[in-house]
Amino acid sequence: MDLTTFPLLSLILWLPVLGALALFLFADARSIRVTALVVTLLDFAASLLLLPRWTPDGSMHYQEVLAWAAGLDFRYHLGVDGISLWLVLLTTLLGPIVVLFSWRNVTENVRSFFFLLLIQQAGMLGVFLSLDLILFFIFWEFTLIPMYFLIGQWGSGRRVYAATKFFLYTMAGSALMLVVILLLYFQTGSFNWLTLKEAGLDRTLQFWGFLTFALAFAIKVPMFPFHTWLPDAHVEAPTAGSVILAGVLLKMGVYGFLRFCLPLFPQATAIFLPWIAGLAIVGILYGSLTALVQKDVKSLVAYSSIAHLGFVMLGVASMNEQGLSGAVLQSVNHGLSTGALFLMVGMIYDRRHTRLLAEFGGLWRQMPVYSALFMVVVMASVGLPGLNGFVGEFTILLGAFRVNPLWAALGTLGVILAAWYLLAAVRGLLHGPLDNPANQHLADLDRREVLVLAPLVLLFFLIGLFPALFFDKITPAVELLLRDVGPVIGR
Amino acid sequence: MAQQALFLIMAVFTLGMALGTVTSRNIFHSALFLVGSFAGVAVIYFLLEAEFVGVAQIIIYIGAIATLIIFAIMLSRSVTGQNGSPMNRQWAFAALGAALLFAALAWLFSRVDFGSTAQPVPEDAIALIGAGLVTEYVIPFEVASILLLVALVGAILIARERHS
Amino acid sequence: MNALDILQLLSPELILALTGFVVVSVDLAMRRRDEGRTAATIALLGLGGALVATLLLAFAGTSTVEAFTLAIDPYSLFFKALAIVSVGLVILASISFMRGKSRYLGEYYALLVFAALAISLAVSATNLVMVYLGIEFLSITSYILASYFRQDLRSQEAGVKYFLYGAVAGAVMLYGISLLYGATGSVDLATVGALFSAEGDQRLLGIAAIILLLAGFGFKASLVPFHQWAPDTYEGAPTPITAFLSTASKAAGFAVAGRVFMVALPNLVADWTAILGSLAILSMTLGNLVALKQTNLKRLLAYSSIAQAGYIVLGLAALNPGGDFDGVGGLLIYLLAYLFTNIGAFLVVMAIEQHSGSVDLAAYNGLIKRAPALALWMTLFLLSLAGIPPLAGFFGKFFVFAAVVERNLLTLAAIAAVNAVVAAFYYLNIVRAMFFVESEEQKPVSVAAGLSAALAISGIMVLVIGIAAQPFITWISRSVEMVLVSGM
């Protein structure tokens, strides 16, 4: 098969949709689960095919273009570069993991659940792969729907409130985006990202365009002070939903900044960069401090996401090679480690139906495998050298330091706080006496659960020990971005 | 000049009658006021040398429609009885709105010159109307008859079912 | 042009008129024994014939033919098809819904067919006399239909209110027509367009005429401030009639407004687009804000349809001949998407009303458990109304917004975009009730065959227009081109 002409990206994008439709061929829950797993595994395999023939030149690969309406420059245009590559792979990897995780603990409306999971995956892949702004917008808006139902139907506690808040917040954020996309079209005659980034838009349009896009993306990331939907949505969502929310959905915001805000509106970026950096640092400190006082492990992880995404945005705001590359890699890292944290919180929640730290303690003795894996995941999240988190955070701080040492100093404070709150979680769950009778008969992880976590843990080490494998593909794309945008900003 | 004066008189008469129609407490009186208003309009048509429309106005509106209305009222309720005030709380706003609209239009007409489009009335106006109805306006003419048929069906429906 | 040509050009109207008469007569002959089923069948067959005739004319490449105060052009054919389809869906749903609710179902179906005829005539009218006649024809059929439940006071109120508003709106519109006639000595749209200049005081006269005419068109389209009848009439009228009033009848208002303004007042385009733009802002904002508080679904959809009228009229307000997005195209695409979406939503309302006798939001609680198909269809329609891609409603909004942005009316675009979020809130509230609120009632909802068929057609069209919008857009842009060429 000739991979240069084969529509690989379309395969990756539409396979989950076909799989979602295929679910209707089966009546029993087991076949539905198996189908979902097979489809997501196939999708992951398909996305791995992107790697072998990858030429690290920073350009858009595997492009596919189909004209849509006559007379309108609106195209089905897909492409992937070093910035989106790892996000695509992250999405397809988390697919089978959440399916496997949900194997036993989703028992009602199994078909609907996996259907929504699969089309959610397609929607997110569409966001990362679209090079046409209308296509991007369609996928961007579309991702709201499955997540709304996932949270509202299978969530816990105030799930409906959380789902509605999530939907309306993000929709409000992107309300004006369509207007700006149209403005761009009438200025340049194109909806195409490749054309638009060369177009040299005028200053006013850049200013308003940046503000509008940044609002949509900042809500998605979420950046302080647009984060208030996140704790609700993350905490109330079912585990699979939380993993996807934290793992991929938030990255759509970061990706939006990297893909659209910076290259399309460089002059405006120059104006707003300090603001982004400021909000990112506030986010790091706010997220960390709030995480410190959480009594519920899931809320703790949710607030840690705000802090971690603050790091990522600090990398973006640095606007140099280290900062941007670090931001891309750290996005993936956060997806892996926070995904793993949510999974592990989900695993004890499935056993005890509570997530309150006060209910636990001394799990070391009862669940050694769980505890060991939990330590690894926490260490990855904290940024222990040798694991993935370290590489990402260190690179970002390096990038930030070169721009403004104060940023780096405040960021480092965030690293310390992260160690504090995550170790507090470790202490609350694993250490101390095993004095709660309810915990004394907890079963350790079974094979399925270990299988769910294994690929993530392996990747922690792979990224931590061989970061070059990943940076090799990210850096050329970042360099290309900086070559266009850097001079405008003065970096 | 005399024509103008006559028009003014008829306009005031028509308006007065119309006002009586909507303000009278007795619905029978309202119907009689309506006849007066129709007649005033007919006179205005004659003043405009639109004899055909004027005659049609008298025959159809006064001769047929108003008579029917009066019959309907006499058959359905007591003629002498008071029917309550037709005013509701919003009459002042409605009056104000109407007055403003009148003022705006009056101001407008004082500025606009319609003279350029006025044409003399053709000699054979009635023949022209007749020809028009079977040539250019044949479809509106036919549509009007379907419309009347539909209205008739509707009227029967509305009138009948309550007693069934 | 010989007689045969004329018959062919008027075939949709002739078929509709004939169908109406046949339905009344057959029903009379049947002595109302089968609860109007025969009448409905004949009506549907006739509508099908008329639709085929319309589409044949539309795709035969017939260019504009104007004769006898009517224009047979792609623009009018588009709206005829829309009206016929909409009435067809309404009749399909009425077969079970109206059964037992009225003794005079034959006349009911006949009136609906005549309403389709009235719209066909109104949207083709090239003459102010015909415009007025068409709109009055539509109004009179609508008054009767709105008050069809003789025993139900709300239905009576709906009819009376609609009639009073309609009579005043019609009279005001007629006054506007008289102004145009007075200024030009003609009632032919094209002649008025040629003679009516925008200079000096004539411009003032033109603006007055626009506002007065809008009373008539805006009344049909339920644009603020001519909307006051809509909530009560929508709530009180039989639900199939509400569906009709909110789609086909509304579309007729926009179609006539579009043609009259474009053809008769091209020199005042700056004025009427500005007026329509402000009405759009009022309609969107007022409709959405009031809809937020509604718990009666028919009333909620009434306010939603006022807000939607605001979006739709943006297409005319952003008229831009020769642009990439000319505005009229957006208007047509929006109306096409809106037709199936809104009828679909009302079909679900009918199904629930038939089942529970209620149109309250509470009747929708837990619908996903009792009637999953209905809940899913309703979700589809609500998301389409909210303009979420990739459903039909998104493309409507997209093309309208595009025209607005191309004309650089950015404040208008921003207000519309923010309004879309407000609207999402109350649409989502219905979804929330259907999916996430537990219901005390557990009885599954059964849906009659005709209603199911109508639902399926609407739902599939909402999906098809969304996913494969292209053929529709091509057809529409062709229709628009010809109107713009002839009009402006």
In this predicted model, what pLDDT tens digit does every residue of B13-47 receive, in sequence order? 999 999 999 888 888 888 899 999 999 999 999 98
CA separation for the pair C286, A19 (Å, rounded) = 43
User: Which residues is A64 bridged to in the sheet?
Assistant: A78
- Residue A418 corresponds to which tokens in the numbers above? 């992260």
Per DSSP, the three-state class of A48 is helix
CA separation for the pair A296, A242 (Å, rounded) = 15
Antiparallel, parallel or unpaired: β A61-67 and C70-72: unpaired
In this complex, the chains that touch C, judged by 3 or more CB pairs closer than 8 A, are: A, B
Helix (H) or strand (E) holding A289: helix A266-292
Closest residue on chain C to B154 (Cα): C144
- Contact status, residue B34 vs residue B66, Cβ threshold 8 Å: yes
Q: CA-based diameter of chain B, in Å?
A: 59
Per DSSP, the three-state class of C225 is coil
CA separation for the pair B158, A239 (Å, rounded) = 61
> Tokens 């350029």 map to which residue?
B116
Average pLDDT value over all residues in chain B: 84
Is the minimum CB–CB distance between A154 and chain C shorter than 8 Å?
Answer: no
Tell me the domain boundaries of chain C.
3-487
Site from A17, A112, A182 to mutate, C interface, most C CB atoms within 10 angstroms: A182
C483 pLDDT exceeds 70? no
Which C positions 4-33 lie with beta carbon below 8 A of chain B?
Answer: 10, 17, 20, 24
Answer yes or no: do C324 and A71 touch at CB < 8 A.
yes
Residues 6+ apart with CB under 8 A from A21: none
Antiparallel, parallel or unpaired: β A75-80 and A61-67: antiparallel
User: Which residues is C125 bridged to in the sheet?
Assistant: C70
Chains A and C touch (3+ CB pairs under 8 A): yes
Question: Could you give the angle at the alpha carbon of C91 between the alpha carbons of C89 and C94, nearest 5°?
Answer: 110
How many A-C residue pairs are in contact by the CB < 8 A criterion?
A: 76
Answer yes or no: do C185 and B118 touch at CB < 8 A.
yes
pLDDT digits (tens, 9 = 90+) for C38-49: 899 999 999 999
Chains B and C touch (3+ CB pairs under 8 A): yes
In this complex, the chains that touch A, judged by 3 or more CB pairs closer than 8 A, are: C
Closest residue on chain A to C386 (Cα): A171
Sign of the CA dihedral running A234, A238, A244, A249: negative
CA separation for the pair C41, C10 (Å, rounded) = 23
CA separation for the pair A191, A181 (Å, rounded) = 7
Rg of chain C in Å (alpha carbons): 21
Residues 6+ apart with CB under 8 A from A6: none
- Residue A249 corresponds to which tokens in the numbers above? 């959905």
Answer yes or no: do A186 and C398 touch at CB < 8 A.
no
Residues of A in contact with C410 (CB under 8 A): 179, 183
Torsion angles phi and psi, residue C36, rounded to 5: 75, 10
Higher per-residue confidence, B15 vs C62: B15
Helices (H), A222-265: 229-236, 239-244, 250-256, 262-264
C62 pLDDT exceeds 80? no
- Residue C113 corresponds to which tokens in the numbers above? 């067919």
Predicted pLDDT at A94: 93
- Residue A458 corresponds to which tokens in the numbers above? 């392996």
What is the least distance, in Å, from the CA of C403 to any CA of chain A? 9
- Contact status, residue A36 vs residue A19, Cβ threshold 8 Å: yes
Per DSSP, the three-state class of A7 is coil
What is the least distance, in Å, from the CA of B104 to any CA of chain C? 9
What is the least distance, in Å, from the CA of C397 to any CA of chain A? 10
Of A142, A172, A185, the CB nearest to C389: A142
Find the Cα–Cα–Cα–Cα dihedral A140, A141, A147, A149, rounded to 10°.
-160
Residues of C in contact with A122 (CB under 8 A): none
CA separation for the pair A278, C418 (Å, rounded) = 28
pLDDT digits (tens, 9 = 90+) for C130-151: 999 999 999 999 999 998 888 8
- Contact status, residue A439 vs residue A352, Cβ threshold 8 Å: yes
| The amino acid at A147 | M
ipTM, interface predicted TM-score of the complex: 0.90
Of C68, C111, C208, the CB nearest to B150: C111
- Residue C2 corresponds to which tokens in the numbers above? 């010989």
Rg of chain A in Å (alpha carbons): 21
CA separation for the pair A330, A58 (Å, rounded) = 19
CA separation for the pair A208, A212 (Å, rounded) = 6
User: How big, in percent rounded to 5, are the helix, strand and coil portions of chain B?
Assistant: 80, 0, 20
Closest residue on chain C to B140 (Cα): C130
Fold (topology level) of B1-81: Four Helix Bundle (Hemerythrin (Met), subunit A) (1.20.120)
**Which among C35, C100, C87 is positioned nearest to C454, based on CA atoms?**
C87
CA separation for the pair A42, A64 (Å, rounded) = 21
- Residue C12 corresponds to which tokens in the numbers above? 């949709």
Predicted pLDDT at C196: 85
CA separation for the pair B27, B30 (Å, rounded) = 5
Answer yes or no: do C147 and B158 touch at CB < 8 A.
yes
Tens of pLDDT, residue by residue, chain A (491 residues)? 455 678 889 999 999 999 999 999 988 888 999 999 999 999 999 999 988 888 888 788 888 888 776 567 788 899 999 899 999 999 999 999 999 988 888 888 889 999 999 999 999 999 999 999 999 999 999 999 999 999 988 888 888 999 999 999 888 888 889 999 999 998 888 888 888 888 888 888 999 999 999 999 999 988 988 889 998 888 888 988 899 999 899 999 999 999 999 999 989 998 899 999 999 999 999 999 999 999 888 999 999 999 999 999 999 999 888 999 999 999 999 999 999 999 999 998 888 888 888 888 888 888 889 999 999 999 999 888 889 989 999 999 999 999 889 999 998 998 899 999 998 888 888 888 887 888 888 888 888 899 999 999 999 999 999 999 889 889 899 888 888 887 877 76
- Contact status, residue A141 vs residue A171, Cβ threshold 8 Å: yes
C82 pLDDT exceeds 90? yes
Share of chain B above pLDDT 70, in %: 90
C173 pLDDT exceeds 70? yes
C392 pLDDT exceeds 70? yes
Predicted pLDDT at A432: 81
In this complex, the chains that touch B, judged by 3 or more CB pairs closer than 8 A, are: C
Is the minimum CB–CB distance between A69 and chain C shorter than 8 Å?
Answer: yes
**Which among A101, A122, A98, A87 is positioned nearest to A17, based on CA atoms?**
A122
Is the minimum CB–CB distance between A179 and chain C shorter than 8 Å?
Answer: yes
Residues of C in contact with B158 (CB under 8 A): 144, 147, 150
CA separation for the pair C100, C111 (Å, rounded) = 18
CA separation for the pair A39, A112 (Å, rounded) = 16
CA separation for the pair A114, A103 (Å, rounded) = 10
Predicted pLDDT at B164: 45
Q: CA-based diameter of chain C, in Å?
A: 69
Is the minimum CB–CB distance between B138 and chain C shorter than 8 Å?
Answer: yes
DSSP string covering A416-440: HHHHHHHHHHHHHHHSS----GGGT
Residues of A in contact with C425 (CB under 8 A): 168
Rg of chain B in Å (alpha carbons): 20
Residues 6+ apart with CB under 8 A from A128: A80, A84, A87, A88, A91, A252, A255
Mean pLDDT over C70-84 rounds to 90
CA separation for the pair A410, A20 (Å, rounded) = 45
CA separation for the pair A210, A102 (Å, rounded) = 39
Residue B110 pLDDT class (50, 70, 90 cuts): confident
Residues of C in contact with A72 (CB under 8 A): 324
What is the least distance, in Å, from the CA of C109 to any CA of chain A? 39
User: Which residues is A132 bridged to in the sheet?
Assistant: A192
CA separation for the pair A455, A105 (Å, rounded) = 20
Neighbours of A39 (CB within 10 A): 24
What is the least distance, in Å, from the CA of C318 to any CA of chain A? 14
Residues 6+ apart with CB under 8 A from A478: A58, A82, A83, A321, A324, A325, A328
How many B-C residue pairs are in contact by the CB < 8 A criterion?
A: 87
Per DSSP, the three-state class of C148 is coil
Closest residue on chain A to C429 (Cα): A164
Predicted pLDDT at B84: 67
Neighbours of A65 (CB within 10 A): 12
Predicted pLDDT at C108: 92
Of C130, C148, C185, the CB nearest to B117: C185
